[in-house]
Structures are given as C-alpha cells and as structure tokens.
Structure 1
Amino acid sequence: MSNIRLVPAGDAVRAGMNPSAYVTAEAHRAGTPNEKEAGHLTSADEAFTVGIWSADPYAEWVTDHAGYEYTFVLEGQVTLTGEDGAAHTFVAGEAFTIEPGWTGEYRVDEPLLKHFVFYAPEKD
C-alpha cells in the first residue's frame, strides 16, 4: 500500500496537473473549461478514482451522471442546477455529492479547484 500526502491547493498542486477533457462537445453550453487534473488513486478496474481537477468558468448540461461523486471545493465556486430547477452553489470549504443518473447544469462560476472521489459501478 502506498501513502501519498495530498497537497491542499495552490501552485504546488497545479504544477502536477495535466490537461483533461471530461466536458464533451455535446454537453458544453458556454465558456471555455480549460480543464486540468492530477490523479491520486485509481482502482485496477478504473471504477474508483481519487484526484484533483480544475476548470475555468463554463457551463455544461450533464445527462445521466455516470457514477457516485464526492467533491470538496478547494477554490472557486460551482453551481449545480437539477432538472427540477433547484440550484445549489458551493464555494471553497464546502462539499457536495452527485449520484448516478443525476441530470442538470454543472456551472463553474469562478475558477474551480476541487478534490474529488468518483465511483462508477458496472451497469447491468
């Protein structure tokens, strides 16, 4: 077993991040995400991932979220608006979860840096 100290935020964590592309062209609504990530831990079957992710302000429409996600916001602000129109905004120091099947708008209001844990169980 390996133990890795996770850097909370700032320049040190950003130095180890690489470009990523989770936001699809179909889902993208506005802005330019300029996504970056650093993976900390991934299970052998790639169903479970822990990492850090950043994005510039943008908006996307998520349809049928693929898994369970826990997010802790390190910097910035993000707003999730479900299909029912209920909006929830999260800022640095706050956390949220998303369950499989969630559909709605994921909007980064201010440059975002987050720790995340994602689990996508196999679908039958």
Structure 2
Amino acid sequence: MSIVLPDATTAALGPDAPKPTSVTGDQREAALEVWTTRDGSTVTGVWECTPGTFTALRDGYHEICQILSGRATVTHEDGTSAEVGPGSTLILPDGWRGEWQVHETVRKTYVIVRV
C-alpha cells in the first residue's frame, strides 16, 4: 500500500495552536501527520508556522525537512545560521539545538526518525 498526498503545499492541516517554544511574535503552528511506522520510530507529515522566533531542540530523533513555502533563518546554538526558503532541505540531527526566525509563514514536509 502506498500513501499519496497530492499537494503538500495546499493540504489541509490540523487546527492551528500557539507555538509553545515561541520567543517573539504570536506564533501559531499546525500539522498533518501523513504516516507513521507501527512502532512509532518514523513519522512523516506537513507542518506550518507563522512569523516570529522560536527555540528548537532535537533530542532523541533526527529530522529531515523540505521547505515548501515561506522564509526563515535557522541558527544553531554555535551561531552558524542558514537562510531557508522554498526548495531548501534541512537535516537537524539528534542533539541539534537552535532557533528559527520565521520571516514569512513557513510550510515544510518532514520526516522524523527516532534514535
């Protein structure tokens, strides 16, 4: 069996909610989980977040994501940063810590692999 999401850029996501790790802005986020393994070790879906800044920590899992729309600056705790936008691929390995500054609402697909 295969799972097809015809267009992740326009897929309806779940209800939006306040971003719990928001530092600045009244950020809201929403997601749609598309698939998960039976043991929960791998999850894939679509996520969206409104402008503002939030902290992020990848503890116990790796995340691979593809930016579909919007723009952000992703900054690692060591100060290195990258500008991301449509077409950018990010790999945030287990232990990654940093901050996202969302300039324009960001939508991404993601794969989470638990370690």
TM-score surpassing 0.5?
yes
Indicate yes or no: 2:85 matched with 1:86: no
Report the Cα distance in structure 1 between the residues aligned to 2:101 and 2:39, rounded to whole angstroms. 29
* Structure that is richer in strand per residue: 2
Unaligned runs of 5+ in 2: none
Gap change, CA 1:45 and 1:103, over 3 Å in 2: same
Indicate yes or no: 2:64 matched with 1:70: yes
* Structure that is richer in helix per residue: 1
Cα RMSD of the aligned pairs, angstroms, is: 1.9
Unaligned runs of 5+ in 1: none
TM-score, length basis structure 1: 0.81
Equivalent residue for 2:92, pick from 70, 93, 98: 98
Report the counterpart of residue 18 of structure 1 in structure 2. Answer: 14
Gap change, CA 1:86 and 1:35, over 3 Å in 2: same
Gap change, CA 1:23 and 1:101, over 3 Å in 2: farther
Shift of 1:22: 8.8
1:35 counterpart SS class: strand
- The one-letter code sitting in structure 2 at the alignment partner of 1:42 is T
Aligned length: 114
Identity between Structure 1 and Structure 2 (%): 26
Contact 1:19 1:34 in 2 (8 A): no
Shift of 1:70: 0.6
* Per-residue CA distance 1:72-95 (angstroms, 9 max, x = gap): 011101221111211101100111
Report the Cα distance in structure 2 between the residues aligned to 1:23 and 1:44, rounded to whole angstroms. 27
2:34 counterpart SS class: strand
TM-score, length basis structure 2: 0.86
Report the Cα distance in structure 2 between the residues aligned to 1:104 and 1:62, rounded to whole angstroms. 5
Indicate yes or no: 2:54 matched with 1:60: yes
* Per-residue CA distance 1:46-96 (angstroms, 9 max, x = gap): 221010011111211224x12101110111012211112111011001111
